Every structure is written in C-alpha cells, then in structure tokens.
Amino acid sequence: MKIGLDMMGGDYAPLEAVKGVQDFLSDKSDNVDLFLIGDEAQLKDLLIKYPVDPSKYTIIDAPEVIGMHEHPTKALKEKQRSSIAVGFYLLAKGQIDAFISAGNTGAMLVGALYSIKAIGGISRPTIGTYLPRENGTLGLLLDAGINADCKPENLEQFAMLGSLFVQHVWNRPSPRVALLNIGEEEGKGNMLAQATFPLLKENKQINFIGNVEGRDLFLDKADVVVCEGFTGNVILKMAESIHDITARRNIHDEYFDRFDFEQYGGVPVLGVAKPVIIGHGISHGPSFKNMIKIAQRMIDSDLLGKIKESFTSPD
C-alpha cells in the first residue's frame, strides 16, 4: 500500500514528521511504501540525520506550505505546489492510497470534501474524537466539529460510520452505539435528539443501546457516541484541557496521561471516498507514526469498501 504524508504540516514539521517516519519504519512494515510530500532539500538533509531504508519511501517535492492561519480554499487554489494540494492530487489520481497531514485543518477538510468527495449516499462526512475510558479502552465521539448544525439523518449516518470504523479498524464486533443526551430515557432532549432516537432505534445496521449522558463518556457504556458538532467540539476541547491541566499541575496518573492525543495520532474523515487522516497541529514524532498506523489499518481492513457497501445495500 502507498501512504502519502504531508511532511510540512504542523508546528514542528518537517523534523517531527521525519522522526515519525523513522519510528514507523523501524517496526515491521513490509507492505507500506511512504510518499513523503514536502520540500525536497529539507527532507533530504533530515533523512541523513534520521536515516531510514530508502527503498521504503519516495520524496515528492512540494516546496510551498499552507500556513495554519491561511484561508483554506484560497490557499489550496493559489498554492498548488503545497504539500497539502499535492497530497490530494496524488490521492485523487490513485497514486497513493491514503493521505495524512497535521497541517491546516480547514485546507484538509476542503481537500477531502471537494477533491475526494463523499461516498455515495452520505450527505455529510464527519470527524470524531477519541474518548479515553476508565477501563483502559477507547470510545469514539462524533461529530467533533465540522458539522455544527445537523439533522437527525446526519446523526444516523454518523452512527453508521462510527460503528463501521470501530468494528473494522478497532476489531470490535457489534459495537455499542449511543446518542448523547441530557437523560437516559427515550423522549429526553431537544428536538434534534428526540427526532434522532427513533431513527437509531430502527436502524438494523447498528447496535443502538439508547441515550447516554455526559458523565458516561469516559466510562465503558458505549463504543460510539453521536451528537452534532457544536456539542462534540466543546467536549473535544474540554478533553484536551484535562491533559493540559494535569501536566501544568504536575499530576502523574496513568488514566489522565491517556488524554495526550499523541498516543492516538490523528482522526479520519469518515464518509469521504478515500482514507484521509487529520492530525493536531502540534504533533510530534509519535503522533505521525500513529497516523500512519491508522491509515494502514483502514486500508488493510478495506474500511472504505465496507462503508460503500453499507450505504448502498438495503437495511
């Protein structure tokens, strides 16, 4: 498989991206060829300091960089030799099988939605966030911010996408799906929650267990939790702050350490036709390594094929 990596995206790129590549290739990765997209001169210098097997990677020169605060659509249009624009070109042309970046999130979303496009039958792709649970496992919450306003049908599709990801990438048969709400009883919540509940309840492609509350998110109540992106993004930022606060207060606890996003890498854009992984802007080497591993698992499990099948087959 061929995985493209934006080497210039992120606050500590390209150095940390190169470290992540070295770390990933130090493990057994016989079936992975990396396409390192970025400024060729910088990459060659760093790969001398952090050497890896040259047969396992190809450098694709992309001398331009889309900054973190640039307008996404304008930057993609004007910087066609940027690492993000080149990455999406290669992905759209089938020259790579997945694309990863910790760069400008807006540009990544624009590229995913307009260069790669949604899978047929999916009205809105989604991104999630990982929920470190007290028992040591992970849950998945979506949407985490790209769909601030949603219809019930959108949440139903998020539930299906999240369930397929957890089932095939995390290898959990029949993952439990829940609706985030202000009470456990059916009929609770605002108009969106009340209208979404029966759709999830009647959907035979998911294992819907009902409502969960905010206090349940870090417990082993559900594998997938769905909500609109406004609420999801508030939860994401709150979860990030937990790690920051414990670090500042010099609190060392195995559970709170798991709120460090670097352990998990980035999150996939679920619902687009090819694997796209978005990382945090302050990603270091371990995060880049883990993003490559997520892309590898998505390809190995044929997640995209299973999503297409699920959205084209009758219930």
Mind listing the pLDDT tens digit for each residue in 267-306? 999 999 999 999 988 899 999 999 999 999 999 999 999 9
CA dist 275 and 304 (Å) reads: 7
Which pTM value belongs to this model? 0.93
The yes-or-no verdict on residue 201 having pLDDT over 90 is yes
Mean pLDDT score of the chain, rounded to an integer? 94
CA dist 216 and 233 (Å) reads: 17
Domain covering 1-122+271-315 assigned CATH 3.40.718.10 in the classification: yes
CATH class of the domain comprising 126-261: alpha beta
Mean pLDDT along residues 56-61: 96
CA 302 to chain CA centroid, nearest Å: 16
Q: Which helix (H) or strand (E) holds 238?
A: helix 229-248
SS3 content of the chain, % helix, strand, coil (to 5): 45, 20, 40
Q: What percent of the chain has pLDDT over 90?
A: 90
pLDDT of residue 315: 53
Confidence bin at 262 (pLDDT 50/70/90): confident
β-partners of residue 128 are: 142
Confidence bin at 314 (pLDDT 50/70/90): low
pLDDT of residue 261: 78
pLDDT of residue 313: 63
Counted residue by residue, the chain has a size of 315
- Residues 97-113 pLDDT 10s: 999 999 999 999 999 99
More confident residue, 265 or 214: 214
Closest CA to 151 of 109, 183, 105, 193: 193
Confidence bin at 263 (pLDDT 50/70/90): confident
Cis omega (within 30 of 0) on the bond before 314? no
The yes-or-no verdict on residue 88 having pLDDT over 70 is yes
- Residues 171-182 pLDDT 10s: 999 999 999 999
The residues of the chain that CATH labels 3.40.718.10 are 1-122+271-315, 126-261
- Residue 25 CB contacts under 8 Å (≥ 6 apart), including other chains: 34, 52, 53, 56, 57
